[in-house]
Structure 1
Amino acid sequence: MTQQNIPRRFEGRTVLVTGAGTGFGAEIAVRAAQEGARVAVHYRSSAAGAEKTVARVKEIGEDAFTVQADITSHQDIRRMAEEVFTRFGGLDVLVNNVGDVAREQMSWRDLTEESIDHVLAVDIKGTMLCVHEFGARMLDQGHGSIVNIGSTVIVRGSARAPQYAAAKYGLLGITKSYAQAFAPAVRVNTFAPGFIETEATLTRQDWKSGRREELLAKTPLGHIPGPAELAGTALFLATDDASHMTGAYLNADGGFNMIGA
């Protein structure tokens, strides 16, 4: 999609994207800027990546800054929330993109207690505390929208990494609970992409040894998108067109799962 064809759905609005130094998060941050938003770019350890995302946003002509936090720390999240709300004078949209997929684990047999603890700490505890802290402040200001990045792994589960499927399923409980708690002022939804060809996916051993072709054959639309292609879809949930959606799960996977109504 060319810049001319991109809608301006976030003109004058502020957006924070967690894990926006690389991959899908970086593309969501850039797309929000292309649509008129001022952007806060969160990172934990990828400072160089976050600065690169900020540079891309500034090239578009929008304002951006980085904010560092370990989202498994409640103290870090509180500090980040204060920082972002102070810098922006409020916040319109939070995209909780950070998540650990246990990428290195190639079989359920390789499961470790350490991996379970880490994935649940990042995907469940971290997301819940971000929704909690930012949502409470959005509630005080009287408006806001939160998009949690989920996964279609919840439809079929994951024989490879059960802890990841469990964490993403838990995300639905967080979304629905806070959607009720924050209504009607603040909406909370989950966006669930299917497989995305990020750099991290492309380097995975199983991806290089036939998994891509196998998934492609089972995807009705016959295509596995790059992250930029789905960034606008994720942001749809935070637009005025989605104003009657809260507690929802929006799936974009080329028809791979075709979940029933």
Structure 2
Amino acid sequence: MTVFQRFTGKTVLVTGAGTGFGAEIAVRAAQEGADVAVHYRSSRAGAEATAERVTALGRKAFVVRADIAEHDQIKHLADEVWSRFGRLDVAVNNVGEAREQMSWRDVTEESVDHVLAVDVKGTLLCTHEFGARMLEQDGGGAIVNIGSTVVARGSARAPQYAAAKYGIIGLTKSYAHALAPAVRVNVFAPGFIETEATLGREDWRSGRGDQLRKMTPMGRIPGPAELAGAALFLATQDAHHITGGFLVADGGYNMIGA
């Protein structure tokens, strides 16, 4: 597969880049020429491994810890990035908290509070902080918020997660208005992804994965590396007239009428 150099000389921050989709977005950005800030909250070893993959590609990388449910820590994260790189061209707000899958009858107030604090409050404040600073630099920037196609179908197993991902659409459109034209803000919405966490789920191993493959027109569920380039598309020059958008990559699973 040919990897085009869409981010030569650019700087990219990926939140939640210690594992899964975030790690692959960070590595793909480096493959395309970017220096990368690798954020993590708890998976330091994973973040360091991601940074090593970036530097092995000849790009600069550093790891930085923050709990994005806390505004002060987001400010510290931004301070670190701008201090190290001098600017930030692309922010990918990948951190999301689905928690374990459960029946809707078992949803707790604590789970609702936690998921909304991370996915909605955290993504909003990251968009706010990074976007405001991008406005102050030459050339502006681009922000990609990672959403989900759960907004198309809902989830009886995680209604708090579906609610949070809807919230990300609202905050994205709001900041797309606020920060235009210098900073573009969009949502990338993947469908099911076969991350290590997904592959390890009991329901996935006991038939849910096979069922979903049969229901997907493309006939398969991709791994995270396969979708990283699509997520980053929204931050490229080719997407220069796209803001407030919602890009779906789900193999056709959630196709609906126009």
Q: Which of 202, 207, 211 is equivalent to 1:205? A: 202
CA distance in 2, matches of 1:46, 1:221: 33
Name the counterpart of 2:3.
6
Partner of 1:85: 82
Which is worse superposed, 47-56 or 209-218? 209-218
SS at the partner of 1:188?
A: strand
Instruction: Give the TM-score normalised by structure 2.
Output: 0.98
User: What's the offset of the Cα at 1:22?
Assistant: 0.3
TM-aligned CA deviation for residue 214 of structure 1? 1.1
In the alignment, is the contact (CA less than 8 A) between 1:105 and 1:111 conserved in 2? Answer: no
Structure 2 residue aligned with 1:136, among 132, 145, 152? 132
Q: Secondary structure at the match of 1:216?
A: helix
Q: CA RMSD in A?
A: 0.7
User: Counterpart of 1:113?
Assistant: 109
- Is 1:47 paired with 2:44? yes
Runs of 4+ in 1 over 6 A off after TM superposition: none
Q: SS in structure 1 opposite 2:33?
A: coil
The answer on 1:240 being equivalent to 2:237 is yes
Deviation of 1:210 (Å): 1.2
Aligned to 1:217: 214
Q: Aligned residues: percent identity?
A: 73
Report the Cα offset of residue 135 of structure 1: 0.4
Q: Distance in 2 between matches of 1:66 and 1:195?
A: 27
Larger mean Cα displacement after TM superposition, 77-86 or 182-191: 77-86
Q: When the two structures are superposed, what TM-score results if normalisation uses the length of structure 1? A: 0.97
Corresponding letter in the other structure for 2:97 = D
Pick the aligned partner of 1:176 from 165, 173, 178.
173
Kindly tell me the number of residue pairs found equivalent between the two proteins: 257
> Distance between the aligned counterparts of 2:253 and 2:122, measured in 1?
28
Alpha-carbon displacement from aligned partner over 1:140-185 (angstroms, at most 9, x marks no partner): 1141000000000000000101000000000000100000000000
Per-residue deviation, 1:80: 0.6
CA contact (8 A) 1:154 1:169 kept: yes
Structure 1 residue 83: deviation in Å? Answer: 1.0
